[in-house]
Amino acid sequence: MEWTDDGIVLGVRRHGESSAIVELLTRGHGRHLGLVRGGSASRMRPLLQPGNSVRAVWRARLDEHLGTYAVEGTRLRAASLLASAHAVYGVTHLASLARLLPERDPHQDIYERLAHTLDDFDEAGEAAVHLVQFELAMLAELGFGLDLENCAATGATSDLVYVSPKSGGAVSRSAGEPWRDRLLRLPGFLREGEAGGNGWSDQDLQDGFRLTGLFLLRHVLEPRGQGLSDAREGFINAVTRQRAKVGSI
C-alpha cells in the first residue's frame, strides 16, 4: 500500500531511540498516523513541528498497519507560530479539534480551513476570528451545524443578532428583543456580509467563543467525557492580553 498526500502536522511523539510517530491531517486521507524513521533526530525536528505543512508518502504492507511516512516540508510555519503566545496555544487547540475527526476519514474542507487559519495567525484578533470560524466549521462537519442564515422565529434573513442556546438557530433583533437576556449574541464577524477587518471588539470575540464553546461542549465533548481544552482558554487569555497591550499604546 502506498499513497502521497499533502498534510499538516498535528502532533509528534518519540518512538524508540530515533524514530517518531507523526500525526497528520491530510487533504485526501484524513487524520492519519505514520512512523518517521529518524524523526527524533535534530535535523528532522524543525520539520516535524505542529502547524507545519508537508508532502508525505505513506507506505505499509496492509492498509490497517501503522505504516511509515517519508516527509518533506512545503510550508514551515512553526518558527513564526512559536514566536507568540496566542499562536502556541492556538495551534495546540486546533490540533485537539482536528482529533475529534474519525481517523483516516477524509475531511477536505476542514483541511483547507486549517491551512487557511494557520496561514493567517499572526495578528491576535484575526487569529481569534479564524479560530471561532474553525470551531463553527467543526460543529457542522461533525453533524451539529448551527443555522445562522435565517431567523428561527420569523424566517427573516436580516438583522440577525442573537442565537438560541436551545436550537442553535439565529434570531433577529426584533424577534429576540423580549428574550435577549436568555439568548446568545451573534458577533458581527459571523453574520452574512459583515466580514469586516480588525473592527471586532473584545466583546465580539468573547461572544464568538461563548457561542461555539457552548455547542462544542453540549454536542461533541461532554458526550465523549471531555471538556474544552486548556489550550483554548490559554489562547483566549493570550489574545485578550495582546489586544489590551496594543490598545494601550
pLDDT at 191: 84
Whether 194 shows a pLDDT value over 90: the answer reads no
* Distance in angstroms (rounded) separating the CA atoms of residues 148 and 125: 22
Residue in 134, 106, 161, 149 with CA at minimum distance from that of residue 216? 134
Whether 245 shows a pLDDT value over 70: the answer reads yes
Q: How many other CB atoms sit within 10 Å of the CB of residue 225? A: 6
Domains of the chain (ranges, CATH numbers): 2-76 (2.40.50.140), 84-248 (1.20.1440.120)
What does the pLDDT look like over 91-117, one tens digit per residue?
A: 999 999 999 999 999 999 999 999 999
Q: What's the predicted TM-score (pTM) here?
A: 0.94
**Which residues have C-beta within 8 Å of that of residue 35, sequence separation ≥ 6?**
15, 19, 20, 21, 22, 66, 67, 68, 69
